[in-house]
Structure formats: C-alpha cells, structure tokens
Amino acid sequence: MTTTDLAAGQGVAPRTLPKAGAALDRWRVPLTIAVLAVLPFVLPSQALAVNVLIYGLFTVGFNLLFGYTGLLSFGHAAFFGTGAYLTGMAIALLGFGWFPAMLTGIVGASLLSVVIGALSIRTRGIYFCMVTLALAQLVYYVALQASGWTGGENGLRGFTVVKADLIGGFSVNLLNPLAKYYFIMFFAALALWFVSRVLNSPFGAAIEAVRENETRARACGFDVERTKLLSFVLSGALCGLAGTLSALHLSIVPLDALGVHTSSIVVMMTMLGGAGSFFGPFVGALVFLLIEDVASLWTTHWQLIVGIVFILFVLFLPKGIWGSLIQIVRRRRAS
Amino acid sequence: MSALMEVTDVGRSFGGFVALAGISASFERNKVTAVIGPNGAGKSTFFNVLSGVLQPSTGSIRFKGQELKGLKQHRFAHLGIARSYQITNLFPELSVEENVRVAAQALKTRYDVFSHRDRYPELAQKAEAALAEVGLTHRRARRARDLAHGEQRALEIAIALVANPELLLLDEPTAGMGPEETKEMVALIERLAADRTILLVEHKMKMILGLSDRILVLHHGRLIADGTPTAVQADPEVRRVYLGQNDGYA
Amino acid sequence: MDLELILMQLFSGLALGAILVMVALGLTIVFGMLGIVNFAHGALFMVGAYAGLWVAAQTGSFWWALIVAPLAVGVLGMLIERFLIRPLYGRTPDDPLLLTFGLGYVLVEAVRITFGTDGIPFSAPDALQGVVDLGVGYFPIYRLFVMGVVAVILLLLWVALEKTRFGLIVRAGARDPLIMKVLGVDVSRLWLLVFGLGVGLTALGGVLAAPMRNVSPEMGTLVLAEAFVVTVIGGMGSLLGAVVAGLLVGVAVSMTALFAPEMATIVMFGLMALILLVRPQGLFGRPAGA
C-alpha cells in the first residue's frame, strides 16, 4: 500500500493520451486508409498488398472479439471460410451478381456466428477456445463431405468475376490488379470505419468492461452473455466480409479457408500486431505475411520460423508490436 | 409504508453443506443494517443471494413487491440493487471516469453499437456526480489500477452508486483500510445513508455500532439475533458466539 | 445389418475410444492441475507416434518403442514446462495457451523437416498381427491389445491417484490450488511432473495409434480437436469424464461409420454441440457457481 501511496503522491501522469496519440486516435480510420492506399507501391509485390488487405481485415474482425472483448476464439476460419464459400457458391451455382453474392456471404457468416457464438458462450473461460475450435472443425468436415456443392478437397472453382458492375453504368475491371486492389480496399475502408464507430460507441465501452471484469460488469447490470454474443456476431460478420473479398480476389475457395490453419494465422497476426489496438491487426498481418514472403524464398519450412517468432512474442512481447510501441510512448511520458 | 426488501425463509446449500438456513428479515427504507458474524457464518453467501450472484435453494426474496428468485444477476441492477465487493473489483485498465461511466451506461445504452459515447452527456454527468460524492473527482483521468487502496475502495462505491440504487449492498467497505481512511469511509456511508437503504457486512465492531440502525447476526448459516445495536450487544447468544471466538471483535 | 457386424464395430469403437481416452486424460490432468490448455497436445501425440516409429526402426522392436517413446516425449514435455511455460505463470491463462499453440506449429514443422511430409505406414509386431475369434466374430488382435494397454494404464493411474501421497496432492490441488501451499508442497516440481505425465500419456496414445492409421505430421490436428470434444463432453478436469466420454465418442464415431461413413467425424462434433445445449458443464463437470 505504501508504494501505491508514494506513486500517488508524486502524481503519476494521468491516462490521457499524449497529444500526438490523441490525434492518431482521432484520425485512425483515414490514416489507416491512407497507408493501405500506398501499400501496393511500397511492398515487394501487389499480391502481398492484397493479402495484407484481406488478412488485415480478417484480423480486425477477430481483434474485436479477442482484443476488445477478451474472448479467444480458435475457430474464426469458420466465418472467413463460410463468407468465401457462400460468395463463390452464390455466383457459381445460383448465378448471382458480385454484390448479392457478397451479401450472401456476409449474411451467411453472420448467421453461422450466431449459432457458434450462442453455443460457445454457454461455456466459461478457457473452454471457449476449445469449443470454437471444435465447432469450426465441424463446419470444415461438413464442407469436405458436401463436395457436390463445395468441391470438397479440391476447393470451389468456376466463379471468376472479371468485371464488377457498379451503379450508373460504371464498372471495375478486376483483371487489372491495381483496380482490384482498390475495389477490395473500398470495402475494407467501410469495415474499418464501422469498427471505429463500434469502438467509440457505448457498446465499445461495454465490451471493454466485460473484458476487464466480467463479474463486475454483470453486477453493474450488463447482460454479459448477450454482450459477448453481439460482439461475436459483429466479429463473425467482419471475418465473413474478409472471406467474401478473398473469394472475389482468388476466384477459388480452397478447403483450407475453413481449416485450422486459417483460424491459427489470424490468432498469430493479432498477437504479432497487438491485441486490442486499432492499428495492430494490419501491422500484424503485414509482419506475418512479410515473414512468410521472405522466409519462403529460402525454405519451404517457413512455418517453423513463424512458429518460433510467435513463441518469442508470447514470451517477451505479449502486447505485440503496436501495443508495445504505445506502451513505450506512454512510459516515456510518465517518467 | 411496506418494507423495501422482504426476505422469507431463504436457504442455500452447496452439495451437502448448508451455508444459509431459513433466513427471514425485512429491510425498511433509508435504514443502515449491518450483517455480522464470525468467519464462515454465511455473510458472503447471504450477500451473494441478495445480489443475484447465487440463487437461493429455498425461500423467497421480494424487492418492492417483486420476486427476485430466478432472475438473472444483471436484472438486479436494473431493479435498483447495487453492490460493492469485499475484494476490490474494478475495471483495472480503464480510467476512473470510464469505470463509473460504463457502470452508468449498463442500465441504458448497452446495445448501441453506432453512436459516439459522448452522445450521452447525461451518463457523463451521472459519473461526475458519483465521483464527486466519493471525493474522487481529482483522480478522474487516472487508471483504476494505479489508485491507492483507499481510493480504489471509494471507486468501488462510486460504481455502485452511479446507478442511483435504492438498495446498496456494501461488502466490507473498509477492508484493508487504515484508521484515517476508515474514518473517511464511515463519513461517506453516513452521507449516503441519508436517502438510501444500506446493507453492509463488516468486521469492525466500533464502526458498526456507530453506523447501523440495526444489526443481524449470522452464525453457522442461521440468523441468531436481529435488533438494534444495543439489543444485539446484550444478547446472550451473540455474546457467547463472540466471546467463544475471543478475537477482539466485541 | 446383422448383429455380428454391429458388435464388431462396437469393439472397434472402444479401441478407437481407448486412444482418445489417453489423449484426453493427458489434456485434462494438465488442465486440472496447472489450469492451462495445452494446444500442443495434438502435436505431441504426433511426435509420440514418430518417436515410436524411430525407436522401433533403431531397435527393431515395437516393445521398446512402446516404452521408450512415451517416456522420452514425457521428458520433452517437462522441458517445455520448465523453460517455456513456467515464465508465463501469473499472466492470463490465454498466454500459456497461445505459447503451446505456437509450439504445436514448431513441432509439426520440425517433424516435417526430419521425417518428410508424407505419411509413413507403421505396422504392429507379428505377435499382434492377425485376428482372434471372439465368439461373435473375428477381431484384430492389435485392437484388443490397445484396449488392454489402456486398461492397464488406467488401473495404474487410478492406483497412483487414489492410493499414493502424490495422488492425494494431485486430487487436492485440482480442486483448490491453495491447498498445496497449506500442505507445503513444492508446487513447481509437482507441475513439472504433472505436465510430463500429461504429455507422456498423449505420446503413448500416439504410439498405440500409429499401427492403426498412417503416421503423418498432420495427424495431431484432428486428434487435438477430438480431445477437445471429449473433454467438453466429459467435463473439464474430470478424469472419469475423460474416460467415459472418450469411449463414448469412439463408439459413436465407429457406429456412425457403419451406417453413414461420411458422417463419422461430423457426429462427434454434433454430440459436443448437443452436450453444450443441455449440460454445458459436461457430463461429469461441476456446474458453474458451485
């Protein structure tokens, strides 16, 4: 108690963000979009840039649940993959246009997240990650068996969108990589703006309260289960959007989009970048994909390197790159 | 005027262990009632049952005429029952102001995912008022985990207060406090008691005798005495229980 | 469908379940004591199978593999606890989970580098080849052997937990870690042993499973999911639950395979979903708040 009293006496700097930090926070959406906009020109390849975009968005959705609500899911491939599959199936089997197909993917992923979320939230604590992993495996095996619709092990093919028609007779040529990049970026930007609104909303405060202290949040009058479920569904919908964009981008959906590996990399990206920070997900996605890109040049076993880097982060840098940067800046101001 | 809360024959057991057996009591408005008893007497269980953390195994609890048994815990706050915890139980990484404001919002805007939180100025005002009431206004921007112990206890109360509850359950509000801090906390509770019904669990006898209108004594899960401080002090069974303990409570 | 076939399939399910019991027991013992979920558990199952393969190749004896491989992997488990997990005690329970998850990645890749990416067949010793007449039909000897080994291990575990001081401490500790402080137990040594035991059990499961399926670096992924399913159904931290649910899942999968093979894997996840709906704490788990 004496130490806390001493600290209090000296007047530790309050938790107001430094001016630069406050500005960064305020302009976080335009800033992220600006960085994303130049990405194709600064990264070694445009393919890498598109992946940063799609996986970054996937990670943003995941981070809403893990970083801000405190729920660690190991089954988010289910939503990414469902978004991708439904988009592809809507085009290939039902002849939908690209936009209704996207909506199908997002709505489907959201509905699935209601079911998986409701089931896994019934359990407590550490159970959650096990149940989400198992239920995502269920989805994976269903897709594997329903090969008539999904293509089974070979993945889903045959739904290439060459040109995205917009309103007013305009269209985007998706064969042009740069045009496709900005096409995808438009949706990522919308999603980012939405997430930023959510985080600033009262609900954003509610999920943080649940993360910080579930018992207390419940005593205050929060329906903790429902709050978690809503966060789960928002997260699932965002990951579904990332999946639909991935389907439009690749024109195929590999079965692995639903697999454990896909659930895993989003966890890794979040941890590398910094859970619970706005910029963390894109930083994490960028770093992960860069490691993959560089390491796979000289070894097929790049996953070994990713795994080791990840372990080192958990041990020594659990707040991730961006989270640690924020911490250092704060500490420097405090001293 | 009828009682604010009516507890009838409430019991709670865990497996074979009976933690509470047939407690009946009613609580009048704007009175301070202390719940005392040796360790393991069932005080915590009693509080947990009254605040919805635990369901009673038997009996009924009526609050303003409404049966509480079977309600989910979060509903209690909406009906006007708030509690503080024995172990400091805050939102550690949030600022003091955010702690109180998020508690205020729990009753109102939980599923608003889109409008900015500053769009609810009345929440900020409520938070501000609660902080002023417990004397933490000057700490508003500090992280809860960085507060001194006494300040954390005060924040604990502010979080409970901000919902403007009719019934306030305080679980050992002065736990771990020195004499100075205790004095401040007693003064605070006295202020709050002017227009609220307060139930508190405490170990510090002197404080209880000075503060309470009425004392309930629990022992082995049973209610062994219920009356004014003077009556309870004179009760032979209470004396036996506490003298047998001989740990300086009385 | 005749009765013989169904009985045979039931036995098959029990053999499959016996393996699951080993894996899930290891997972649940570690969770009960250390409060962490070991995400490398499936990978260590796979490492156990490869270790068995390697020892068998070196010594020419399946029996050596059966004994040495689980012990060696168990020691590996102790090293993991000592050097990777111990620094994380006192952080959130997510951190050891994330670390073991990363470790799983590393183990799979390390095995791919050492043994190649293709599956390797691993055959049972001649003495265990062939079938035996059970009266209702012929049944592979090896599967009976697996059930026997698991029964012996369960018996040993039961004796160790119920009749020894070590067992008393483990059971008390699983209920309330604080008790161990009161008893003056050296917690860090105990945790080291328990983690080693848990890993050793899953490695034994890996060695036993090897002759029944292809040994491949990816074999741990499904096993991890299966172990989670068993643990959720049985109730986290309940040893009896792990045994009952393991056998139950084995039989359910095996029976479904008889009638609708494509549903075999799906049915176990469905079973888990059902349990979550009607009894979220699992068959033998204690309900929350008690």
d(CA B63, CA B67): 7
Separation in Å, CA C169 to CA B206, C156, C248: 42, 17, 29
* β-sheet bridge partners, residue A165: A171
Give chain C positions within 8 Å (CB) of B73.
none
* Cross-chain Cβ contact C289/B15 below 8 Å: no
Contact C109 A268 (CB under 8 A): no
Nearest to C102 among A130, A138, A311 (CB): A311
- Give C288's pLDDT tier (boundaries 50, 70, 90): low
What token pair was written down for C285? Answer: 């788990």
Q: Is B113–A205 a contact, with Cβ atoms under 8 angstroms apart?
A: no
User: Which of C219, C256, C276, C286 to substitute to test the interface with A, most A CBs within 10 Å?
Assistant: C276
Chains that touch A (3 or more CB pairs under 8 A): B, C
Which chain B residues have a beta carbon less than 8 Å from that of A326? none
Q: Check A268 against C102: CB less than 8 A apart.
A: yes
pLDDT category of residue C174 using cuts at 50, 70 and 90 = low
> Quick one: average pLDDT of C276-285?
88
pLDDT under 50: residue ranges of chain B: 246-250
Hey, is A92 helix, strand or coil? helix
Q: What is the pLDDT of residue C176?
A: 67
Contact C274, C232 (CB under 8 A): no
Q: What percent of chain C has pLDDT over 70?
A: 96
CA distance B78 to chain C (A): 22
Q: Which chains touch B (3 or more CB pairs under 8 A)?
A: A, C
The CA-based diameter of chain B, rounded to the nearest angstrom, is 61
C261 touches chain B (CB under 8 A): no
Q: Are A273 and A215 in contact (CB under 8 A)?
A: no
Query: What does the alpha-carbon distance between residue C216 and residue C196 come to, in Å, rounded to a whole number?
Result: 23
Testing the interface with A: which of B102, B117, B153 to mutate, by most A Cβ within 10 A? B102
Choose between C170 and B21: higher pLDDT: B21
Quick: pLDDT tens for B72-92. 999 999 999 999 988 888 999
Contacts of A226 in chain B (CB under 8 A): 110-111
Residues in A 145-174 with any Cβ partner in C closer than 8 A: 145
At CA A149, angle to CA A145 and CA A154, rounded to 5? 65
Q: How many whole angstroms separate alpha carbon A94 and alpha carbon A105? A: 13
What's the pLDDT score for residue C196?
96
- Tell me what the mean pLDDT of segment C260-267 comes to: 89
**Interface subset of A 13-42, CB within 8 angstroms of B:** 14-16
Mean pLDDT of C238-245: 92
Q: Does C275 touch chain A (CB under 8 A)?
A: no
Contact B15 C290 (CB under 8 A): yes
Contact A75, A135 (CB under 8 A): yes
The count of CB pairs under 8 A between chains A and C is 109
H-type alpha helices, A201-279: 202-212, 214-220, 224-250, 260-273
Task: Please state the rounded mean pLDDT for residues C2-9.
Answer: 84
Q: What are phi and psi of B35, to 5 degrees?
A: -110, 120
Q: What are the φ/ψ torsions at residue A253 (nearest 5 degrees)?
A: -120, 110
Interface mutation vs chain C, best among A126, A224, A288, A299, most C CBs within 10 Å: A126
Question: Do B3 and B28 form a contact (C-beta atoms < 8 A)?
Answer: yes
Q: Which residues contact B179 (CB under 8 A, 6 or more apart)?
A: none
Residue pair C31/C191 in contact (Cβ under 8 Å)? The answer is no
| Measured distance CA(A107)–CA(C122) in Å, rounded | 46
**What residues 175-194 of chain B have any CB closer than 8 A to a CB of chain A?**
176
Residues 176-235 in C contacting A (C-alpha not used; CB under 8 Å): 221-222, 224-225, 228-229, 231-232
Q: What totals of helices (H) and strands (E) does chain A contain, helices first? A: 16, 2
Q: How far apart are the CA of B130 and the nearest CA of chain C, in angstroms?
A: 31
pLDDT along chain A (335 residues), means of 10: 34 48 84 94 93 97 96 97 97 94 98 96 85 95 93 91 84 91 96 96 94 93 95 98 97 96 95 94 96 89 92 94 87 72
C276 contacts on A by Cβ (under 8 Å)? 119-120, 122-123, 131
Q: What is the pLDDT, as a whole number, of residue B248?
A: 44
Residues of chain B positioned with their CB less than 8 A from the CB of A205: 98, 101-102, 105, 117
Distance of CA C251 to the CA centre of its chain: 16
Which residue in chain A has the smallest CA separation from B120? A202
A59 or C119: whose pLDDT is higher? A59
Query: Does A72 touch chain C if contact means CB atoms closer than 8 Å?
Result: yes
Confidence at residue A4, expressed as pLDDT on a 0 to 100 scale: 35
Top residue of B44, B50, B74, B109 to mutate, by most chain A CBs within 10 Å, is: B74
- The minimum CA-CA distance between B133 and chain A, rounded to whole Å, is 18
**Residues β-bridged to residue B201:** B35, B171
Instruction: Write out chain C residues lying below 8 Å of B53, CB-based.
Output: 289
Average pLDDT estimate for C44-63: 93
Q: Give alpha helix (H) positions in chain A.
A: 2-10, 19-26, 28-42, 46-63, 77-92, 98-121, 127-145, 147-150, 177-200, 202-212, 214-220, 224-250, 260-273, 280-298, 302-316, 320-334
Distance CA A204, CA C137 (A): 63
- Radius of gyration of chain A from Cα atoms? 21
The answer, for C289 touching chain B at a CB cutoff of 8 Å, is: yes
Closest CA–CA distance from residue A292 to any residue of chain C (Å):
14
Q: Which of C98, C224, C277 sits opposite A314 (nearest CB)?
A: C98
pLDDT of res. C122 = 81
Q: Which chains touch C (3 or more CB pairs under 8 A)?
A: A, B
**Inter-helix orientation angle A46-63/A28-42, to 10°:** 150
Query: Which domains are seen in chain B, by residue range?
Result: 1-80+167-184+197-250 (3.40.50.300), 90-164 (no CATH)
Contact A236, A274 (CB under 8 A): no
Q: How far apart are CA B99 and CA B102, in angstroms?
A: 6
| Shortest Cα distance, chain A CAs vs residue B88, angstroms | 10
Residues of chain A with Cβ-Cβ distance to B53 below 8 Å are 219
pTM value?
Answer: 0.91
Contact across the interface for A222 and B149, Cβ inside 8 Å: no
| A70 CA to centre of own chain | 14
- Per domain, the residue ranges of chain C are 21-220
Q: How far is B233 from chain A (nearest CA, A)?
A: 33
